[in-house]
Structure formats: structure tokens, C-alpha cells
A and B are shown apart, each in its own frame.
Chain A
Amino acid sequence: MLLLGLLIPCLCGIGALLLLRPPRDSLSAPGEVAWLLGAGSLAGAFLLTLWMRLLSLAGVRFSVVAVGVPLLAMAAGTGYMAWRRYDRALFSASRSAARALISSPGLVGSARVVWWVCIGWMVLRFGLLALEIAWQPLYPWDAWIQWATKARVWYEFGRIVPFARFDEWYAAGGSVYFDASPEYPPTMPLMQVWPCLLLGRWDDALMNWPWWQIGVALGLLVYGGMRRLQCAPLEALAGAFLTCSLPLANVHVALAGYADLPMAAYYTVAVLALLRWNITREVRDAVLSACFALACTQIKNPGYVWALTLLPGAIVAVSPARGLRLIAAALGVVLLAVVVVAFTHARIFQYEIHLNFDLDWNTLIGSYFVLGNWHLLWYGVLGAAVLAGRRLFAPHMRPMTAIVVAGLSFIVFVLAFTSARDWSSEQTTVNRATLHLAPLMAIFAVMAFREFSRRWREDSSREIGSGQAGVALRASERPL
């Protein structure tokens, strides 16, 4: 019952995405099925929470029937429409995707072995994480002090009950609830309510299956999304492997209950949809990106800023020539605004902003390069960016680079200028804030390295063509 029920939102989302995509696009195109499964699962999970919010607004008590049946109907409806639209292509695409998984698309020899080992390794990883989800009751601090608090109350009441700070709580005399962060959005607690409804009881271990689903979906959508951005199979698999093997991302599945991994997943899917739009210029891709960006704002409050970091990418995509100048001008305005706000000691969400640059470099370097949080992610990002050089600003890479720069600027701003730096010095915030951006950085590292690789091969081909067997490397010839 639980497993079947957890699939309903996924089917809903996959159906919605099938209908949203242009009918003429082949389902057998590289990465399409993986993208539909991954992005569709995320879309479905978000749709589930929107539906629950609507039910609560309408005064309908949460139940398996009230929540599940309409979603099941939607899944069936979208499935039927997709069937009518694609007919047998649906099955043949799924079959060829499954076959590609086993037969490794277009790969031979050792590359094929790498493919199998990687997939087997990730299956084992998610198997271990599934055991943790099945066994471990809710464990990490914020999970039981500000997230599952709401899930418990809303599950028991069968509707969304307001939470408030002390003054309001006291004045309300019992009609509102209190926890550590009453102002956080309801999406993640609602995702926890649904498994409890399916189980028919409160269970703070099994209610965390959505985190596992999000972890798997993230791997699938990174693979599919990169393939849709014309990456080779091994490049896309490398992106998915790097993402799925990030230790801190794994911890956020095993010790589920925080909103940071979902934030990372929804942000990544929004960016990948935007980059796809940069290639296709289909309004549907832009709409999809905007929807996922909207979802970011409903996962955690910093999601508003993460959604805004997509803007530089969109601007550069719309106007490649003037985009960079526009962004530079916008950055100037933002900096001016920051200065003004900082002098007033403003609070944005729970972060107080000071104009006092005080980045804890030791913590940052320790977190990124010394400890085991990210394996070698930041070595890879820096190395690939240096090797790619000016290619990062090639028209097809520009939107990605702009988004990455905006995202990194946001992290540096949070850790250097706001009260969050006090927490970062204790390693409490720095990694969780970074997790939002980490999957995108893994994709960026692979794509930047691909640019270096392409440049290298182009240069090599040119020199081979001019009669040389190898490449005579001179510093002046290959600026790094």
C-alpha cells in the first residue's frame, strides 16, 4: 500500500510532463525517459502538496481517498492522453531506455565496464540508503524541531493548522501551534503526511521515503537532463554519478527530514529545464523551468533567492550579446541595494545583514577541500573551470556559467555578510547551504571539462591534419 501510494504522485508528475512536452519530440531521444522519470517524480511530489493545500483550504480532511483518488485519476487521465498522443512509442521508448541501461548506449570495451560498474554502484548506494530510511526514526535536529512538528500536527488534524511565533501563539490561546520555524513553507511536512496517511498511522521513519525518492529522482534527472543538453552518455552518467555519490547529499537521504536535499533537487531541475530551453526555445521548457523555480520558493525560504539566480541565465540566453552587460548593471544595482539594506541592519527571513565582510575562510576551505563532505567536487569545479577558460563564455555555456556565478555569489554573500556566518564557523550552515548548489556544480564541472576536452580535440585534430602525429604543446598555444 505504502509503495503503491508513493508511486501515485510520481505517475501524476510524469503524466503532466508527458503532456507538457512538444508532441513532435521523440520519446526515444537521448535521456528523455530518464528525464521524465526524474523530473516527473519531482513535479508529482510538488503537485501532491499543492493538492493537499487546496484540500485544506476547502476544509476537506486529509485521507487516502481525498488525497490519493484525485491524484490517481489525474495520473490515469494524463496517462490516457499520453497514450493517445504517443501510442506505442510510450512502450518502445521505455523498452529502449531499459535496454540502454543494460547494454550501455554506444559504449564498447572498458567504457562499457565503467558504465555497468557505475550503475551497479549507485544501485547499491540507494539500497543502503533505503535501509536507513526503513529503519531510522527521525533523527536530525531541525527535522524534529521545525519540520516534522508540522507534519505530526497536520496528520493528526487532517488539515493545515497554522504555526506562529510566541506572541501570536500566546494571543491565539490554543488555535495556533508553536515550533522553531513557524514561517517555513508547508511543502516538506505535507510530503511526510502523505506516507502516514497511506500507513494509517504516524510513523516518523517510514514517512521519510519521499527523501529517498527525491535522491533517486535527482540522479535520473541529472542523467536525462544532461543527455538532453547533448552530453555524451558517459558524460551524463559521470554527472549523475558525481551527484549521487556526494556524501552530504547521501546523509540527507539517510538522515532524512531536512529540506536541503529537496531544495537542491528542485533547483537543479529548474536550471536544467532552463538550459534545455536555451537550446529548444520552446515556451514549454521555459514554463517548466518557471514551475520548478516556483517550487523552490515553496521548499525553503532561501528558495526565493535560488529562484532569482536563474534570472542571469535567462537574461544571457535571451540576449547573448547584451546579456552580460545587463547582468553587470543588475549586479551593480543589487550591490547598491545591499549596501543600503546593510546600513539599516535589515533582517531578511531570519538572517540579519551587516556590511561587514567576515568570511570564515578556514571553515570554508576545510569544508570544501579537506573534509569528506563533497569528495573532490570543488577540486573538479575549480580545475574544470580553469581548464575550460574562455569556453565557459561560449554562447551555449553562457547561461550555465551565469547561473553558477550567481549561485556562488549568493552562498558567499550569505556566509560573508549575514548572521549565518556565525553558524558557518561551527560548520552547521556552510555545507547545508552549499548542498543546494552542489548537484548543479557537479553538472557544471562535467560540462566545463567537456568544453576543455572539445577544445583540446579540435586543436589536436587541426595539428594532426597539418601532418603532426601528436600535439606539440606550447604555453602560448594553449592558454589555460
Chain B
Amino acid sequence: MNVTLGQPSQPLSSSDGGNSVAIAVAFAASLAALVVAYLLLAVPGKWFPSVKPIHFGADALNVVTGSGAVRQGALIAKPPDGSDTVIVSLSLALRSGDYPVISWEISGLPAGSEARLLWRNEYTPDRMFTAPIPIEGGEIAPLIVVKDRNWIGQIAGIALAVKLPSPTAIQVRGVYAEPLSAGSLLGLRAREWMTQERWSGTSINTVVGGAELSGLPLPLLLGLATVLATGASLLVAAVRSARIGPAFPSAVAAMFLVSWTVLDVRWQWNLAWQARATGERFAGKSWHEKHLASEDGELFAFTEKVRAKLPASPVRVFVLADADYFRGRAAYHLYPHNVYFNPWVVPTAAMKPNDYIVVFQRPNINYDNKAHLLSWDRGPPVAADQLLAEPGAALFRIR
């Protein structure tokens, strides 16, 4: 590629093609050097171990906490009644040093799920050890457990504990115990780079660019390779008095833009995937339906009921909720009523007759139905009428 940054009208010398090739070679060499350096630091044992990965299918798994059955090669497991945690176990005998990576094949994980690996080793068989498993884009990531000092000796059994935001069923197709070869580690890193990053509360502040806590972030690798290749080219030329033609800046610019484009292709792919997910959730819906389909849909539905009970003209409304999120969101849904949602002050003295109080998921609220007295946090009661009551939510009007 002959991308010209600078004066485009300059004739190129015979060494220009050589410049591009030299820079491309320097870039490839820098990339390779960085990857090798990373592998030297990150692979604890042999780069090419003789042991092969072991796969355990769904038939080998048992549901320890919850209930489940194998259907079409997958274990469908769900938490017991009244619980949000399901635990699936596997009896095995593994040499920990040979198999430092555990990869669960699982799908159907809702956003907000948490997962942990549990295991026992031969030295303290009565004790259960655990390690958190990262969940990226709704999928459980392979866990490199070798860094845990309790992953030692013979492993007598492993289990997967999944805490779900709601008691839904998950599908576990099996589990791999894998050696950590240079290839598998690079495979893991590549998988991290391609991990989809869905919109979350932190997206507005930070774009991770793949899996969180990646062992080898792609921007770092490409950025360092670009810097290294440019520096090395200049250094070699300086030391050996080598000839560098006038198109050297163009070659450097092209290398930089190619690296940038690699990152941007990943990002565009992520945006396309996210747009599809957003569309599946909201496309074709009215403004009202979109909010019902949002993560705070339950709160929105409740505030719509509240709105129906409030006068048409704006009134003062105090929102009481434990979580900042619910307090702020409830207030947002209730505008243009004159809403107060300060997190640290619940100003009893500030309340006047015909002010309203909206309560959403806040403990320590007491309402005496007969005396029509509302109080919270052992404070003085306020005379109030209850206009709406739902589990964990209510609307009151100050008398």
C-alpha cells in the first residue's frame, strides 16, 4: 500500500518499495518478538506439552444444588426453589500441573450472572477451594487456574457454581480440562480480543476493547509493535548507515493506520453485534414499550401506576429507595413532577401536606394502616394516606 501523508507530489525513489517491505518486515518482527516475550513470561511450563485436552460431556456432570436433566447432549440445570444458585459437579482425577485451564461449555447465562470454579485437591481433601470465573458477553471464559496456589497435586473433583439474577435454567454441554501450551494461551488471548463487549453502566466511561482483564490487550500489543518497528528501523539505519528513501514516513504512516484499522475492525464488529442486540430488544417498540423492555422495566411499570394516581399538574414527590440507581431512575420516570431524590437526606421536616412519597425497594419503612402514620429509619412518623401498594413498592400522600 502506498499511502502518502505529506506532500503527495514528491516523486518516489527506487528504494520506496524497499521501505515499505522493510517496515512491514520490521513490524512483523516486532510483533513476533513481543508475542515471544509474552509467552516467556506467561507460560509456566513447556510451550508444547505432550498431554492432550480432556473433554467431559454433559452425561458426566451431576447437579449438586438444584435440579437438572440431560437433553440433546446438554445438562439443563436450574436452581432449587427459593434460591438463585445452581452447582454442577464432576468427579475426576487430574494432575493439576498438566491441566491448568478449565473451560466450561455453557450457554443461556443472563446478564448479571456470577460464576465460580470449585475444586478439591489431594492434600486437603476436606476443603473446597474456589476461584471466580470471568463472564464476558454472556459466556463463561476459560479459567487459567494454575496461578491459584491451591491448584496443586491431584485434583479430586471440580464443580461450577453459578449465581443467577433470577432462577432460570442454564445449559451445560460439558467441560474441558486443558494443558497450557503456547498455542492454547495465544488462543485464549485471541478469544479475549474477540469477546463481545455489550453496553453496560460503565460503557460511557470506558471501552475495554474485548475481555476485561485481558492478559495481553490488543491495543498494547499493536501499539508497542508499531513503536518498536519504527524505532528499530531508525536505529538500524542509523547504526549501519543504511539507506532509507523519502517514502519512509509514508511506510510508517501506513503501518500505523493498518494497526489502527485492525483495532477498528474489531470495534466495528462489536458495534454491529451490539446494534443487533439493541434491535432485538427495542426495535419496533414505542417509547413506552422500550422502557418496559429496559432493565428497569419493573420500576418503570410501577412509576406509570404512580403517575396515574398523581394529579395531572406537577406536585412535589419524594423518592425513597435504597439503591442510588432506583432512586434516580424513579425520579427520572416521574418528571415533570417536582421530584426530590437526594441520596443522603430524607427531609421529614421538608414534607408538607399534599406532597407525595414514592417508596421502591427500601427496607425499614413502616406504615400504620389504621393510624395512617408513615415512618422510616425509626424517625418521627408522618401522617399519610397510602394510595398504592405493591410488593416492595408504595405511594403515599402526606396529610
Point out residues on A near B: beta carbons under 8 Å: 106-107, 109-111, 114, 121, 124-125, 128-129, 131-132, 135-137, 139-142, 144-145, 148-149, 152-153, 156-157, 166, 169-170, 173-174, 177-180, 201-206, 232, 234-235, 238, 242, 245, 247-248, 250-252, 254-255, 258, 367, 369-376, 379-380, 383, 387, 427-429, 431-432, 446, 449-450, 452-454, 456-457, 460-461, 464, 469-475, 478, 480
Contact = CB atoms under 8 A, between A and B. Distances in A.
Given A169-B340, A449-B5, A473 B237 contact: yes
Contacts of A254: 199, 271, 274
B383 interface: no
Contacts of A469: 13-15, 243
A205 B279 CA distance: 13
Contact of B244 (A170, A248, A375, A470): A470
A473 B10 CA distance: 19
B87 interface: no
A109 B8 CA distance: 13
A251 B203 contact: yes
Interface in B265-324: 267-268, 271-272, 274-275, 278-279, 281-283, 287, 290-291, 294, 314-316
B68 to A, nearest CB: 35
Given A153-B335, A376-B260, A379-B227, A432 B278 contact: no
Interface string B163-178: 0000000000000000
Contact of A174 (B257, B282, B316): B316
A454 B268 CA distance: 33
A372 B210 contact: yes
A371 B211 CA distance: 10
Nearest to A459: B246
B1 A128 contact: no
A152 B336 contact: yes
Interface stretch (B94-102, B105-113, B217-225): B217-225
B218 to A, nearest CB: 8
Interface of B: 1-8, 10, 13-15, 197, 199, 201-210, 217-220, 222-223, 226-227, 230, 234, 237-238, 241-246, 248-250, 253, 256-257, 259-260, 263-264, 267-268, 271-272, 274-275, 278-279, 281-283, 287, 290-291, 294, 314-316, 328-329, 331-332, 335-336, 338-342, 345, 347, 350, 352
Contact of B260 (A174, A373, A375): A375
Contacts of B197: 372
Given A254-B271, A431-B206, A460-B245, A139 B199 contact: yes
18 contacts: A114-B1, A125-B268, A144-B328, A144-B329, A149-B331, A153-B335, A166-B345, A178-B340, A251-B203, A258-B204, A372-B209, A372-B263, A375-B264, A376-B219, A376-B259, A449-B249, A464-B13, A478-B238
